[in-house]
């Protein structure tokens, strides 16, 4: 197998490869661009016009999707998976991956869409580098662009595998892409209604890609992801890479649950209190009238919505950041 196929090993070791470009026996080119970033270009005459960005490890302890991308890249490097798409593999936060931590000082997934310019330290620099690499990759005209940013959650979930679909002024959410997600084993999608500051929000709103944050179970250490079933996602990604995927059928959305953001719970001060157990699952339903959170100045979040559910509750975020999202079921 080509050495560049071991991108994960290189990243975890903090090593830069001697050879930056290698070719497989069939002419597929592997190009090391930066730490944790490798571009795959199909052999001459095999390019389908599809550009696929696959990122994982934006949070360094979310290992199941990191291992999935490692397996796909190794198959390409061995010649077992022959690409028809251009693919950019990215491991987002290498130092956090090496330490087994979610992040070091700043959550990288809150530093996109220009937020890194107001930050400092290695993670702000890394967010800027990831934006630059993605912008160059998606700079070719006339090509289909898709970005899956793969994560696992810090807590359990009533709906284990779900996606967040960014929003951008003037664009509509794609039914075909939702059907593709359903084929990949995604059970629910949160349709966002304002521009975010995550990596997928950046590629969607500023680079014109279809882009999604995928939550794929609970975060576990490397080698302990046997309980995370990513077979359907793996099969979909293999088809996308090889150009063998059948066209998404909108009828394939059956069973997909859709949600919209009702309100974000923002932590304003150190006095913030979230009235949920630390072990509460994502998508736990909350009854109207429930006092969800309190903060300085008498600020109170009381559940008013019928069918409201909570996702990403985290009272330990920094002041000014989101400490939870109230979502409600919707029809597309």
184 near 253, Cβ under 8 Å? no
Residue of 272, 276, 239, 229 whose CA lies nearest to 72: 239
Active site residues: 215
CA distances from 171 to 81, 177, 210 (A): 34, 13, 10
Report the DSSP beta bridge partners of residue 43. none
The reply, when asked if residue 147 is annotated as ligand binding, is: no
User: Residue 237: CB partners within 8 Å, gap ≥ 6?
Assistant: 54, 68, 72, 148, 184
Angle between helices 231-242 and 63-78 (to 10 degrees): 40
The reply, when asked if residue 268 is annotated as ligand binding, is: no
The reply, when asked if residue 101 is annotated as ligand binding, is: no
Element (H, E) at 161: strand 161-165
User: Residue 197: CB partners within 8 Å, gap ≥ 6?
Assistant: 110, 111, 112, 113, 115
User: Measured between alpha carbons, how far is 143 from 138 in angstroms, rounded to an integer?
Assistant: 8
107 near 41, Cβ under 8 Å? no
Binding-site entries: 59, 62, 151
Binding-site entries for Zn(2+): 59, 62, 151
């Amino acid at each position: 197998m080509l050495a560049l196929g071991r991108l994960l090993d290189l990243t975890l070791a903090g090593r830069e490869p001697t050879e930056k470009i290698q070719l497989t026996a069939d002419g597929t080119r592997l190009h090391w661009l930066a730490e944790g970033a490798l571009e795959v270009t199909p052999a001459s005459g095999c390019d389908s016009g599809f550009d696929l960005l696959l990122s994982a490890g934006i949070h360094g302890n979310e290992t199941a999707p990191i291992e999935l991308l490692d397996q796909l890249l190794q198959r390409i490097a061995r010649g077992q998976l022959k690409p028809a798409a251009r693919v950019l593999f990215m491991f987002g936060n290498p130092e956090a991956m090496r330490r087994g931590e979610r992040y070091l000082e700043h959550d990288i997934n809150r530093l996109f869409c220009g937020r890194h310019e107001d930050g400092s330290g290695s993670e702000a620099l890394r967010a800027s580098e990831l934006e630059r690499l993605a912008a160059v990759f998606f700079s070719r005209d006339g090509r289909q662009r898709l970005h899956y940013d793969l994560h696992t959650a810090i807590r359990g979930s009533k709906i284990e595998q779900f996606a967040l679909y960014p929003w951008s002024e003037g664009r509509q959410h794609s039914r075909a892409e939702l059907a593709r997600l359903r084929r990949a084993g995604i059970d629910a999608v949160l349709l966002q209604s304002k521009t975010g500051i995550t990596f997928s929000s950046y590629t969607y709103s500023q680079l014109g890609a279809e882009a999604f944050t995928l939550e794929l179970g609970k975060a576990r250490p490397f080698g302990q992801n046997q309980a995370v079933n990513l077979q359907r996602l793996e099969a979909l990604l293999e088809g996308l890479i090889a150009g063998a995927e059948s066209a998404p059928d909108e009828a394939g959305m059956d069973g997909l649950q859709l949600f919209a953001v009702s309100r974000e719970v923002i932590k304003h001060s150190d006095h913030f209190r979230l009235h949920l157990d630390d072990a509460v699952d994502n998508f736990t339903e909350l009854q109207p009238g429930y006092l969800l959170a309190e903060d300085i100045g008498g600020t109170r979040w009381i559940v008013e919505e019928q069918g409201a559910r909570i996702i990403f509750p985290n009272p330990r975020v920094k002041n000014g950041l989101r400490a939870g999202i109230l979502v409600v079921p919707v029809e597309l």
